[in-house]
């Protein structure tokens, strides 16, 4: 469930474009006005504003935002502007070519649905003239590479149904491939995790927990390592409880000395229009503190205002 707060009496895209233009004029930028508009418009509304701004002022809105804003606020607003698929494509392209970041690549690919990934792949090649699969091949290796490529290409159901007999077979196969033997049969893990639906994997996890000493998540952590392990865990956690998965990532980004602003921005911006309400609830349940409070304490100024606007009211 989205946390985006859109005004009940919404101004037209043309009026929004005009107000943004006024905010940019003169000495300095009226950053509050920019935030008040853009942080309270959904993806389709932002696209209309961009178009109106271009038509009316013969200027690209994102280029103007790049000139007028700075620091983490600029990064957050520029990432917020595209629709979800385009945003994912931009994040992946940077993580695969400019600032290599395989954790981010793993997070994005392994947390998206098959339909989201299909749209993403088509958009990626149209935006950058390169296939996402080829860029992944150039930066990854081994079981991690094979799992990501399979997860991108294998069709999977997005419905709630699953085959109990196949679930039982997969549970036994995973146990035999991991905890029961000396060494790990990574191929079995890779095939099952890339071919089964989220509903199926959630059932596999539950059945595994009831059948053996360790949970499947613990078995993965014991039997695998590195980026391959992270990919398996991401797929499993997003099958069981995506909100809890992203709450954990946000906790890591804000825990200890310093703040991982790049991760904080990415998760809040990419999930605000999707399931941030659930993420906030999971965060509060697990850490006994609201995500809004944490963001307030870890950020400042207009950057703080923008992120808190996307998070919605503290509940």
Inform me whether the pLDDT recorded for 274 exceeds 80.
yes
Q: Where do runs of H (alpha helix) occur along the chain?
A: 13-24, 31-38, 43-57, 61-68, 71-80, 84-93, 102-111, 114-128, 132-139, 142-153, 164-177, 186-195, 198-211, 216-223, 226-240, 242-254, 261-271, 276-287, 291-298, 301-311
Interval 44-55: pLDDT, tens: 999 999 999 999
Contact between 198 and 237 (Cβ < 8 Å): no
Burial of 103-136, coded b for 16+ CB within 10 Å and e otherwise, reads: ebbbbbbbbbebebbebbbebbeeebeeebbebb
C-alpha distances in angstroms, 228 versus 79, 140, 194, 251? 27, 10, 12, 22
The predicted structure's pLDDT at residue 314: 84
The predicted structure's pLDDT at residue 189: 98
- From CA 295, how far away is CA 134, in angstroms rounded? 36
- CB neighbour class for 295 (10 Å; exposed up to 12, middle 13-18, buried from 19): buried
DSSP, res 179: T
Interval 81-126: pLDDT, tens: 999 999 999 999 999 999 999 999 999 999 999 999 999 999 999 9
Q: How confident is the model at residue 304 (pLDDT cuts 50, 70, 90)?
A: very high
Axis crossing angle, helix 186-195 with helix 226-240, rounded to the nearest 10:
40
Inform me whether the pLDDT recorded for 27 exceeds 90.
no
- From CA 263, how far away is CA 186, in angstroms rounded? 29
Torsion region of 278: left, alpha or beta (phi above 0 gives left; psi -120 to 50 gives alpha): alpha
Domain range list for the chain: 13-69, 84-134, 164-240, 244-311
Judged by average pLDDT, the poorest of 106-115, 250-259, 262-271 is: 250-259
> What CATH number was assigned to the domain covering residues 13-69?
1.10.220.10
Q: How confident is the model at residue 280 (pLDDT cuts 50, 70, 90)?
A: very high
> What CATH number was assigned to the domain covering residues 164-240?
1.10.220.10
Inform me whether the pLDDT recorded for 261 exceeds 90.
yes
- From CA 213, how far away is CA 179, in angstroms rounded? 10
The predicted structure's pLDDT at residue 256: 84
Inform me whether the pLDDT recorded for 16 exceeds 80.
yes
- From CA 24, how far away is CA 60, in angstroms rounded? 13
Q: What is the pTM of this model?
A: 0.95
> What CATH number was assigned to the domain covering residues 84-134?
1.10.220.10
Token pair 């994040």: residue: 91
Contact partners, residue 263, CB within 8 Å, separation at least 6: 104, 249, 250, 252, 253
Inform me whether the pLDDT recorded for 26 exceeds 90.
no
- From CA 204, how far away is CA 242, in angstroms rounded? 16
Closest CA to 112 of 235, 14, 224, 3: 235
Interval 41-84: pLDDT, tens: 999 999 999 999 999 999 999 999 999 999 999 999 999 999 99
Q: Which two tokens stand for residue 55?
A: 């038509």
> What CATH number was assigned to the domain covering residues 244-311?
1.10.220.10
Tell how far CA 144 is from the center of its chain.
19
Contact between 229 and 190 (Cβ < 8 Å): no
Contact between 35 and 305 (Cβ < 8 Å): yes
């Amino acid at each position: 469930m989205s946390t985006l707060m859109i005004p009940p009496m919404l101004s037209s895209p043309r009026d929004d474009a005009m107000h943004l233009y006024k905010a940019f004029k003169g000495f300095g930028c009226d950053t509050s006005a920019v935030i008040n508009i853009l942080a309270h418009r959904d993806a389709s509304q932002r696209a209309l504003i961009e178009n109106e701004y271009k038509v009316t002022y013969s200027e690209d809105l994102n280029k103007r935002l790049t000139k007028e804003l700075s620091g983490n606020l600029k990064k957050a607003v520029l990432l917020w502007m595209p629709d979800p698929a385009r945003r994912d494509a931009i994040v992946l392209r940077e993580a695969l070519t400019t600032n290599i970041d395989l954790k981010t690549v793993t997070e994005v690919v392994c947390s998206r649905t098959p339909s989201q990934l299909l749209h993403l792949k088509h958009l990626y090649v149209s935006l950058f003239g390169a296939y996402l699969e080829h860029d992944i091949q150039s930066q990854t290796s081994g079981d991690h590479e094979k799992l990501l490529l399979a997860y991108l290409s294998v069709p999977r159901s997005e419905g709630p149904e699953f085959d109990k007999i196949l679930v039982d077979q997969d549970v036994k196969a995973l146990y035999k491939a991991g905890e029961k033997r000396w060494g790990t049969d990574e191929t079995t893990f890779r095939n099952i995790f890339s071919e089964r639906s989220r509903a199926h994997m959630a059932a596999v996890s539950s059945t595994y927990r009831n059948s053996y000493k360790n949970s499947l998540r613990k078995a993965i952590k014991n039997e695998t390592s590195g980026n391959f392990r992270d990919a398996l865990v991401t797929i499993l956690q997003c099958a069981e409880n995506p909100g809890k998965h992203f709450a954990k990532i946000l906790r890591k980004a804000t825990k200890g000395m310093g703040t991982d602003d790049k991760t904080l921005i990415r998760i809040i911006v990419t999930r605000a229009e999707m399931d941030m309400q659930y993420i906030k609830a999971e965060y509060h349940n697990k850490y006994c503190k609201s995500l809004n409070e944490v963001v307030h304490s870890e950020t400042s100024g207009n950057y703080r205002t923008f992120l808190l606007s996307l998070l919605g009211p503290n509940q």
